[in-house]
Structure 1
Amino acid sequence: MITGEFNLKGELAFEIDFIGADESIISVEAIFDTGFTGWLLINNKDAIKLGWKRNLKSKIVQTAGGQTVLNIYQGIVVLDGEEFTIPVYGGDEIQEILLGVRWLQFKRLIADYSGGVLTLD
């Protein structure tokens, strides 16, 4: 189980780890976004810095800001001590790292704002 916190905006924030191609481990804060149907969304520069392999295909998606093209990378993410190799979307305009609802296939989200409890179990 990983514990998160409600940030100043009231967003669901979790600390997760990325594993780079050189096996370096980088801890980051990610926002759980129930409107995002993928696994993970990051800035292209971050994916490139991590050395994650880019898929030759890109995907056109509809976001709150309009339609955009996202690159697809193969990334390694650590949640609750468990490594997951997942498809990661990357875009030039992405400012926050987002976790999407695909995680709910394996993890249970508990978000009790009034009680101050936020976990992915």
Structure 2
Amino acid sequence: MMRGKFGNRGELFFEIDLITADGLNLPVDAMLDTGFTGFLAIKKQDLDALDWAFIGDEPLQTAKGEILFEVYSGQVLLDGQEYKIPVFVGEELTEVLLGSEWLKILPLTANYQV
């Protein structure tokens, strides 16, 4: 089960590890974005340390319209399990985003407590 914590404005964050091509684990807080239908999206500047393999370009519908994202083959550690997944990379991103694709394979229970 995915376990996370709520941010100051009600955002839901999960601690995950991004795994570099060399096998180094880099812990990050990732925000759940149910409007994003992929697995993971990261900032372009974060990609350099990971050295992930480029797969290609893919358009995604965003709140700002359709945007072309670079897609890389990435590896993450989430909920104690390693996953090899496609990762969308963009200049405009301000957070590491977990998308709704995770909800197809991992259960999510949320209890918002004030």
The answer, yes or no, to whether TM exceeds 0.5 is yes
What is the match of residue 58 of structure 2? 59
What is the match of residue 94 of structure 1? 93
**Aligned runs of 1:43-54 on 2, under 5 Å?**
43-54=43-54
What is the match of residue 16 of structure 1? 16
Quick check: 1:47–1:73 contact (8 Å CA) kept in 2? no
Quick check: 2:52–2:74 contact (8 Å CA) kept in 1? yes
Q: Distance in 2 between matches of 1:80 and 1:36?
A: 20
Deviation, structure 1 residue 45: 2.0
Deviation, structure 1 residue 66: 2.4
What is the match of residue 40 of structure 2? 40
Q: Which runs of 4+ in 1 moved over 6 A?
A: none
Quick check: 2:2–2:107 contact (8 Å CA) kept in 1? no
Q: 1:51 corresponds to which letter in structure 2?
A: D
Deviation, structure 1 residue 25: 0.6
What TM-score do you get using the length of structure 2 for normalisation? 0.93
Deviation, structure 1 residue 52: 0.6
Say what the alpha-carbon RMSD is for the aligned residues.
1.3
Can you give the 5+ residue segments of structure 2 that lack an aligned partner in the other structure? none
Q: Distance in 2 between matches of 1:33 and 1:67?
A: 17
What TM-score do you get using the length of structure 1 for normalisation? 0.88
Quick check: 1:59–1:70 contact (8 Å CA) kept in 2? yes
Can you give the 5+ residue segments of structure 1 that lack an aligned partner in the other structure? 117-121
**Percentage of matched positions with identical amino acids:** 45
Quick check: 2:3–2:108 contact (8 Å CA) kept in 1? no
Q: What secondary structure is seen at the aligned counterpart in 1 of 2:109? A: strand
Q: What secondary structure is seen at the aligned counterpart in 2 of 1:50? A: coil
